[in-house]
Amino acid sequence: MTAGIPRTVAVVGATGCVGRHVCDAFTRAGHDVVALARRAPAGPGRHPHRFLACDPAGLAPRDLADLFQDARVDTVVNAAGGWLNTEDDNRYHHVRLVERLLAGTALMARTPRLVQIGSVHEYGPVPAGDAVDESREPRPVTVYARTKHAGSQAVLRATRAGDADGVVLRAVNVCGPWVTPASFLGTVTRRLSEAAPGEPVELTLSDARRDFVDGRDLADAVLRAATRPVTGEIFNIGRGEALPIRSLVALLLDVAGLPPGTVKERLQEVASRGGDWTRVDTRRARRLLGWRPRIDLRTSLHDMWREALTGLPPATGSHGDGYRESAL
């Protein structure tokens, strides 16, 4: 894998928050992108990618291999998944999908690099104050974390066996443009943007402290993982800072130009999805990928708010969201 050689990248889950940023990162780096998702995105874009409407988890391995070979794919990024309601849904999107990607790519004449975007929640809850590194034994608790970990482990096992060329990124919470609507920040941003002027928004806030990374910085890490000799590695991707949730909301209000009284806090216990503390040690990513977060939280939240209000990508850089659809 040489960084300077143009490649064709298949991005699975291309219409989600992370997938859209990954598509843009590879396009800006001069690579061809084949975007895969079950449904085509709505709206025009400035930098269209070739789009294939399909569910890779539902394809036979041979059909998936033929799809990738016909498109001359030499890199596959799995950016699919999220917090789903049932165990069956989580297993389908986080385990079966990965197993199909591994089975399909193993049938190709040349095995492509597979970048699996995992989650910090694979580690399970960690003590407050810790910065978790890749040597920590994962102890996932939630069904989301367990199934994401199962997918990551499948990639690593296949790679050790010589059947895959895989890399796993364990990402913290994502912020920035196109933030996932179901996430905490996505929910807060939507409710603030929909509120009438002067109308307070009631929120239940926890005492949690969490690590956040802008989706564009995560996409940069994916690009580096796809183009460097790091087969079989695991990388934590985050800012390495545990930010209080209340401080994050206050910063969002500030960049949005809203007064502090806009949010009225409800006093009740919050059911956490992944522990009250997340912070990752990113020294391995810095050393082997040459990666570090470049977008500060103020800029990230500003761009997130702007996109929520206008539907437009950030003013700087090329962050289009359109696709050119083609039939299978």
Say what angle helices 215-227 and 17-28 make with each other, to 10 degrees: 50
Catalytic residues: 144
Place of tokens 């799995």: 78
Residues 208, 247 contacting (CB under 8 angstroms): no
Residue 81 CA to residue 324 CA, distance in Å, equals 23
Strand-pairing partners, residue 171, are 119, 237
Residues 145, 119 contacting (CB under 8 angstroms): yes
Residues 303, 27 contacting (CB under 8 angstroms): no
- Count CB atoms within 10 A of the CB of residue 250: 12
Contacts 24+ apart (CB under 8 A), 126-130: 126/275, 126/277, 126/278, 127/277, 128/209, 128/276, 128/277, 129/277, 130/277, 130/279
